[in-house]
Structure 1
Amino acid sequence: MKFPLSWLKAHLETDAPVEDIAATLNRIGLEVEGVEDRGAALAAFRIARVVEAEQHPKADRLRALKVDPGDGSGRLLSVVCGAPNARAGMKGALALPGAFIPGTGITLKKGEIRGVASEAMMLSAREMGLGDDHTGIIDLPDDAPLGGSYAAWAGLDDPVIEISVTPNRGDALSVHGVARDLAAAGLGRLKPLPRPEVAPAYPSPLRWEIADPRACDFVLGRAVRGLRNGPSPKWLRDWLVAIGQRPINALVDVTNLFTFGLGRPLHVFDVAKVEGATLTMRMAREGETLLALNGKTYALTPEDGIIADAAGPEALGGIIGGEHSGCDEGTTECFIECALFDPVRIALSGRRHDVRTDARARFERGVDPALPALALDLATQTIIQLCGGEASEVVGAGTEPRWRRDASLRFERLAGLGGAGDVAPDEAVRILERLGFAAEARDAERVTVAVPSWRNDVAAPIHLAQAPELPPERARAAAEGCAAVEAECDLVEEVLRIRGLDRVPPVSLPVSSPVPPPSLSPKQARTALARRVLGARGMLECVSFAFLDSRAAALFGDTPEALRLVNPIASDLDQMRPTPLASLLLAAARNAARGFPDAALCEVGGGYADPSPEGQGSTAAGLRTGHTPRHWAEPSRAADAMDAKGDALAVLAALGVPMAALNVTADAPPHYHPGRGGVVRQGPKTVLARFGEIHPRVAAALGLPGPAAGFEVFLDAVPEPKRRKRGAADLPAFQPVRRDFAFLVDEGVPAEAVLRAARGADRALIADVALFDRYAGDKLPPGKVSLAVQATLQPREATLTDAQIESISQRIVAAVAKATGATLRA
């Protein structure tokens, strides 16, 4: 919200400088974004008159001027000037020695140019920082005051203040509302709005009809005929330009004057362009379009409230008018619309069509429901003053909404809730009254006030939908109770705000425990740890959208309609992704298309099975593509399923999952290559991870050339490690013993079965069993493979004897043979 100081002073009687105004706005919660004072840089420039202009005796392109600075001394200044338009009798802007020239960045000094003294400088627009024109010095009209301030004459000494308005403060989106807050804070007196009496001179040529209450609640209108539309007066144009608005013509500029001045958007129709004698508030029909004032055509929907005549839509109600019935220089009779619209419907329609207007910003925050009649009279009076003409009778439709409501404040809540124990009850009541709240009842403990019409954020209207499961009577009682509590909080905020937010004492939050709780939850800690492990394994982290093209998502599982986006940011991002692996594959395909086929990518993000909270899981996914060396001493090779399995197991091990409790099954989902993928389980049901080479069909569909292997670790399924009390480190006193075994097994027997059986031979003594070789070749019987494992024996009480080692070795062989049918290879 922007406004020049002169516009503010049209509503606020004050002599406070702009610095005090800005400081007060900050103290009362209307945060100042900036103050633009264009006149400050031009304060040193004065209006001067050129008395003589002669050719420079030693330069063809220079002129020697004699300039009257208008200081009353009668002394003429010698100025050397290169402007071709310099002539005797003209007036311009003069800079004296010591003045800073903003357009050139220099400080002016006296000098001599080719033998002629130059004691000052006549300025161009570019030298003053007012534009790019430097073809000549500024040529001012004859009525410009000699010796006066150029900035004051040009209207540039009017600082423009910009404030940030919170979404609940629709009343602060007006200069009058800001002036009311400043007056309540003691910085001047609020000027009351005039209440003109506009006598009707003729019947209105147009009537209102509300065909659908959803489109409009209440509307008034009045015509003005015999007017002469044209440019607005300078004061109005200057105000609009200062806040970034483009002056158009007097009728349109008046609507902007009330939009920003009173927070009351208006619209004017050219009566001659309206078809029929009735303007109808209704919902749009399928197929209707509107050519708006911004030159764009909008395809309307049945959820859009519009203003229509006999020919069709003429405005998107409360948002933007139509070009067809807009007022221009040829308008001789206009019709002023002043309506109230549903804030929610305005917000939805504006978002649906991506229309951002100043009217929408005010209607969706809520405008003053008691202002339409007064605003219509004021706007009519202003139009007649600027354009002439006579007014018709007022016509309307609908009923004014019931906005009157009360709110109560217990004085002890100023200290209990607001932390301000030094606020006297009388002071609190005075502050509320200065803001427009009228005290209705008061005792020693509380005050009840009538909420003014412009404060839509205090004691908001009751919505029974807040408690749909309750009977209507109980729902209303519950809603009224909530509204009463919120209203009291609002009143506490108003009192503290106007006193000054800087006077609210800072209070530390209570300490719930001398030992601070962990900064990360177990889930957050697992996520961070998984991210670090994958980064340490050489993977680059991706942060991608959680949605993708529904056709790509279908390659990775079901794509339920419930996970389809209603309003996607792009047509190819319309489905919530089943797994982050899909996003990594798309990223790898884009890298390959740009000449980088070898990649190692990872992401820790969400995968979606259904819209419920339980249907979203946190997944650590990774992908290796192309031919990348895994070690400096190894040759480059293609990524395979074992690379993905190693990455997945590394994450699980870092998260504290006992590796001995895991088993791998070959039932990987279809987006993995059949026979080259697997599922890591803990027990028969708990799935912790999936891995494998990407199915060629999936890779081809996504445009990914070459081999690719990926994995998914489901972090939500990983059990939290058991908390154990810290004790002494477990450091065995005896050396471990390692023994190797080579088993001959059927080629269909998984190595995991051999390892599990070997570990179970003696869990107290066997610390670890690991596979270190797999051999299949012509030296073995058909259908057989050799699996070589190493068992680590860790004694606890005494060094193992040869007999004990032989005994445990035999138990290992027997256990593996019983579980898998393996024999010890000779």
Structure 2
Amino acid sequence: MKFSLEWLKYFLETDASVEDVAAALNQIGHEVEGIDGPAERLDGFRVAEVLTAAKHPDADKLQVLSVDTGDGNPLQVVCGAPNARAGMKGVLGLPGAVVPANGMELRKSAIRGVESNGMMCSVRELELGEEHDGIIELPADAPVGQSFAEYHDTSPVFDVAITPDRPDCMGVQGIARDLAAAGLGTFTPVEPSEIAGDFPCPIEIRTDDAEGCPAFYGRVIRGVDNSVPAPEWMQRRLIAAGQRPISAIVDITNYLMLAFGRPAHAYDLAKLSGAVVARRAKNGEQVEALNEKIYTLDDSMTVIADDAGVHDIAGIMGGQHSGVTETTTDVLLEIAYFDPASIGVTGRKLGLASDARTRFERGVDPAFLDDGLAIMTSLIQRICGGEASEVVRAGSPPSEAMTLHFEPDLVRRLGGVDIAEDEQLRILQALDFDIGHKQIGDGATRWQVTVPLRRHDIEGTADLVEEVVRIHGLDKVASVALPRAEGVARPTATPQQALERKLRRAAAASGLNEAVTWSFLPLPDAEHFSDGAPLWVLDNPISEDMKAMRPSMLPGLLLAAKRNADRGASTARLFEIGRRYFRGEGGASDEKPTLGVILAGEKTPRGWATGKAAHFDAFDAKSAALELLEAAGAPVGNLMVMGDAGEQFHPGQSATLRLGPKNVLARFGALHPATLKAFDVDGPVVAVEILLDAIPAKKGNGGFARAPYAPPALQAVTRDFAFLVPFGLPAGELLRAVRGADKKAIIDARIFDLFEGQGVPEGKKSIALEVTMQPGEKSFTDDELKAISDKVVAAAAKQGAELRG
């Protein structure tokens, strides 16, 4: 929610600075997300007087002005505004100033051959309104040479995040009430006078949906002039709040919503026929809303309609047909109380969001109907003229206020801070809680507290404690350590949590950056990684881009890598530990812990020694997978490298790591070009996905018991072997066979050479291995080494390998 300091001071008498207001807002729970200083945008614009105006020698619609900026040296400015004339005062943008409306930097230039030293500005160009038929005309007493920002009294604008439980603060008046209670000034509420009608209301108003619309009030004002714009002060406040001024009557309804948190609506009476009724929609009824979209309704939705049909999606958005225009002369003002739950359901079904819905579905003040209607009536008559009818009140809003019995000592017991009873009383009364008679007994003070109808968030005495402590200051609550039980603390992390923490540290230590992505994905992205399994699709998603629960960790990481690349990052090394979501048996949710890794962009940058930049390949993915699996305690030496990593991966540059033919622990490799195209990512990109639930747990200490290290007494022995193997044999299969030839003596085997070419038969390749053998209590004899070597050759032969001569 946005509002200007000037608007806030309409409801709050204070001399507090911008910094003090921001600090107080944060302290009482209204987070300030930003402060915009419009004065900065108007830097370089000055109050100026046009001394002379002459026709441009080479353009019929341009004039050459001589403009006084107050320094005694008039400037020559070329201007095309029809109202530019000698003697008027306006706003001059000097060279170097930036026009707020379009970001254009003004420079000294020649226009049709005539030098121009800046620009005389219109209201729209300075984002002060929508008027752009001519340049701004200032009063005759405007001081020439003064900064326009200073002259215009441009006020800073606060952008405040209002939590969903505080709809009473979705108007500037509510914010001011909270700040006054916090001691920042004096609250000055608007207390409208009732406006008696001059004639009976000429149109029937009623509610036929007491559940969805308990109260529907209205009146007619005839003889209005809606062609006049809203006053400058109102437009200025609306613009500060992010609203575009439209017409006087529409601006007044928007002003009521933003100032008091109370949406209302105005209809062109000439466009209505018959009674105006709040009712349930009929299945299939349609309405064209003010956003120029057509919505199909059902009988669960409340609408405002007349004999001709629906005009308004109640509490959410008005209709296009019955809206007021500049030619409107008679208006029907409507202010109602709608059921918050019904508004929320309707908005979600239609996928329609609006400022009105945001307020109604959280709960507006049901006691503000008459006051709101009186304020609107007064503003319309003051600005647009006209005479008002009597008020029609159909139905009645909730009016029974909650009463709580409150003990001031609860603030100490629940809030952990001692606050004097007088101060507690002041805070609650300043927040408009009514304190009835005090009851004193059993040594305790009890108050009878009546909750204002607008405070839908107050449900019990603990909420009153929160209000007192919030206004008193959460920073004044002392930090007190919880009592600790004697003895040694027991570990609270489960084996799964301990595994994830260890992997998180290992991944970060290997140079990967942790990412935290959404558990929701756009439906096409989720389907791409679903492998045909049914997805969890949300009925009420945050947005269409967050509709499906992720079946893999890789889509979110891939999108994160793309965002980094789009912003100029040359490389992305990302990992994330989280859950994948599947439909289990009987439709139950099945969540699987998973670690995902994405390596994208440049592995090493280009340089004088290497030339072109090097990119990641499938072997980088394999290395990362093995390193992380080893950190997880998986038996890396026993893993099998097999294909079938999934259709998302490149079939010739990917594989799976398995513990046995069926137990897949991880998949890795280069992503398929079709996957990169679907995500609009420039390749190559390699990925790893480790299925943490598939890693067998070790016994003892959560699976992380480590035997004490005992170095061998004798030196290891290495032997090299070169084998001719079928071209299609995976090297990993040969390694596994060699390592298993003598599990007691052979402790390691690694490939150090691969050769194809002259001397190697067609269809074959030469793989050279280094085998490490570790003696135990005594050194190996030549016969023992030969026996082990024979076992290595025999094991390799079972894989189709032949020892090279």
Taking structure 2 as the reference length, the TM-score comes to 0.70
Q: For residues 323 and 773 of structure 2, what CA distance do their matches in structure 1 show?
A: 92
Give, as a single letter, the amino acid of the residue that structure 2 aligns with 1:81. Answer: P
CA deviation string 1:549-572 (max 9, x = no partner): 75994686214253588769779x
Q: Is the 8 A contact 1:549 1:574 kept in 2?
A: yes
Say if 1:201 and 1:139 are closer, same or farther in 2 by CA, change over 3 A: closer
**2:462 aligned partner:** 489
Report the CA distance between 1:368 and its aligned residue: 0.5
The question of 1:614 aligning with 2:590 is answered: yes
Q: Is the 8 A contact 2:304 2:312 kept in 1?
A: yes
1:686 to 631, 641, 663: 663
**1:377 aligned partner:** 374
**1:452 aligned partner:** 452
CA deviation string 1:707-759 (max 9, x = no partner): 999865424423466433574x4322312223467899999999878766765
The question of 1:34 aligning with 2:35 is answered: yes
Say if 1:560 and 1:515 are closer, same or farther in 2 by CA, change over 3 A: closer
Kindly report which structure 2 residues correspond to 1:575-614, keeping only aligned pairs within 5 A, or say none: 578-579=551-552, 608=580, 610-611=582-583, 614=590
**2:636 aligned partner:** 659
Q: Is the 8 A contact 1:531 1:604 kept in 2?
A: no
The question of 1:391 aligning with 2:388 is answered: yes
Give, as a single letter, the amino acid of the residue that structure 2 aligns with 1:680. Answer: L
Say if 1:206 and 1:800 are closer, same or farther in 2 by CA, change over 3 A: same
Kindly report which structure 2 residues correspond to 1:150-549, keeping only aligned pairs within 5 A, or say none: 156-157=152-153, 159-160=155-156, 162=158, 164-167=160-163, 168-191=165-188, 193-194=190-191, 196-212=193-209, 215-229=212-226, 230-233=228-231, 235-241=233-239, 243-283=241-281, 285-286=283-284, 288-292=286-290, 294=291, 296-302=292-298, 305-347=302-344, 357-401=354-398, 404-421=401-418, 423-440=419-436, 441-443=438-440, 444-459=444-459, 487-505=460-478, 521-527=498-504, 529-530=506-507, 547=521
The question of 1:768 aligning with 2:748 is answered: yes
Kindly report which structure 2 residues correspond to 1:621-660, keeping only aligned pairs within 5 A, or say none: 648-649=625-626, 651-653=628-630, 655-660=632-637
Report the CA distance between 1:502 and its aligned residue: 5.0
Aligned residues: CA RMSD: 6.4
CA deviation string 1:550-600 (max 9, x = no partner): 5994686214253588769779x976665567899999999xxxxxxxx99
Q: Is the 8 A contact 2:599 2:616 kept in 1?
A: no
Q: Is the 8 A contact 2:276 2:304 kept in 1?
A: no
The question of 1:734 aligning with 2:714 is answered: yes
Give, as a single letter, the amino acid of the residue that structure 2 aligns with 1:557. Answer: D
Report the CA distance between 1:431 and its aligned residue: 1.5
Q: For residues 11 and 614 of structure 2, what CA distance do their matches in structure 1 show?
A: 78
CA deviation string 1:607-666 (max 9, x = no partner): 8561566344424467999xx9xxx99xx9999998976665455345443233334566
Q: For residues 731 and 645 of structure 1, what CA distance do their matches in structure 2 show?
A: 29
Q: Is the 8 A contact 2:528 2:648 kept in 1?
A: no
Say if 1:450 and 1:288 are closer, same or farther in 2 by CA, change over 3 A: same
Report the CA distance between 1:682 and its aligned residue: 2.1
The question of 1:723 aligning with 2:704 is answered: yes
Q: For residues 545 and 7 of structure 1, what CA distance do their matches in structure 2 show?
A: 41
Q: How many residues of Structure 1 are paired with residues of Structure 2 in the alignment? A: 734
- Secondary structure of the corresponding residue to residue 457 of structure 2: coil
Report the CA distance between 1:452 and its aligned residue: 0.7
Q: For residues 565 and 492 of structure 1, what CA distance do their matches in structure 2 show?
A: 37
Q: Is the 8 A contact 2:265 2:334 kept in 1?
A: yes
Q: For residues 442 and 365 of structure 1, what CA distance do their matches in structure 2 show?
A: 34
Report the CA distance between 1:796 and its aligned residue: 3.0
Say if 1:492 and 1:90 are closer, same or farther in 2 by CA, change over 3 A: same
Q: For residues 40 and 694 of structure 1, what CA distance do their matches in structure 2 show?
A: 47
Say if 1:182 and 1:807 are closer, same or farther in 2 by CA, change over 3 A: closer
- Secondary structure of the corresponding residue to residue 326 of structure 1: coil
Q: Is the 8 A contact 2:28 2:182 kept in 1?
A: yes
Q: For residues 89 and 705 of structure 1, what CA distance do their matches in structure 2 show?
A: 60
**1:557 aligned partner:** 531
Q: For residues 542 and 419 of structure 1, what CA distance do their matches in structure 2 show?
A: 35
Report the CA distance between 1:378 and its aligned residue: 3.7
Unaligned runs of 5+ in 2: 54-63, 98-117, 129-133, 564-570
Say if 1:517 and 1:382 are closer, same or farther in 2 by CA, change over 3 A: same
**1:797 aligned partner:** 777
2:74 to 81, 88, 94: 81
CA deviation string 1:664-685 (max 9, x = no partner): 5667667779999765332465
Give, as a single letter, the amino acid of the residue that structure 1 aligns with 2:639. Answer: L
Report the CA distance between 1:688 and its aligned residue: 1.1
Report the CA distance between 1:458 and its aligned residue: 1.6
Q: Is the 8 A contact 1:160 1:243 kept in 2?
A: no
Unaligned runs of 5+ in 1: 54-60, 68-76, 95-100, 107-122, 460-486, 591-598
Q: Is the 8 A contact 1:308 1:315 kept in 2?
A: yes
Q: For residues 730 and 185 of structure 2, what CA distance do their matches in structure 1 show?
A: 87
Say if 1:602 and 1:716 are closer, same or farther in 2 by CA, change over 3 A: farther
Give, as a single letter, the amino acid of the residue that structure 2 aligns with 1:418. Answer: G
Q: Is the 8 A contact 1:92 1:137 kept in 2?
A: no
Say if 1:783 and 1:130 are closer, same or farther in 2 by CA, change over 3 A: closer
| Identity value in percent | 37
Q: Is the 8 A contact 1:35 1:159 kept in 2?
A: no
Give, as a single letter, the amino acid of the residue that structure 2 aligns with 1:204. Answer: C
- Secondary structure of the corresponding residue to residue 462 of structure 2: helix
- Secondary structure of the corresponding residue to residue 429 of structure 1: helix
Give, as a single letter, the amino acid of the residue that structure 2 aligns with 1:406. Answer: T
Q: Is the 8 A contact 1:534 1:651 kept in 2?
A: no
Q: Is the 8 A contact 1:254 1:379 kept in 2?
A: yes
- Secondary structure of the corresponding residue to residue 371 of structure 1: helix
- Secondary structure of the corresponding residue to residue 314 of structure 1: strand
Q: For residues 395 and 452 of structure 1, what CA distance do their matches in structure 2 show?
A: 25
Give, as a single letter, the amino acid of the residue that structure 2 aligns with 1:218. Answer: A
Q: For residues 703 and 12 of structure 1, what CA distance do their matches in structure 2 show?
A: 52
CA deviation string 1:677-715 (max 9, x = no partner): 765332465321346898999999999999999865424
Report the CA distance between 1:198 and its aligned residue: 3.5
- Secondary structure of the corresponding residue to residue 393 of structure 1: coil
Q: Is the 8 A contact 1:419 1:505 kept in 2?
A: yes
Q: Is the 8 A contact 1:29 1:501 kept in 2?
A: no
Give, as a single letter, the amino acid of the residue that structure 2 aligns with 1:717. Answer: A
**1:473 aligned partner:** none
Say if 1:776 and 1:374 are closer, same or farther in 2 by CA, change over 3 A: closer
Q: For residues 433 and 581 of structure 1, what CA distance do their matches in structure 2 show?
A: 55
Structure with bigger gyration radius: 1
- Secondary structure of the corresponding residue to residue 688 of structure 1: strand
Q: Is the 8 A contact 1:39 1:159 kept in 2?
A: no
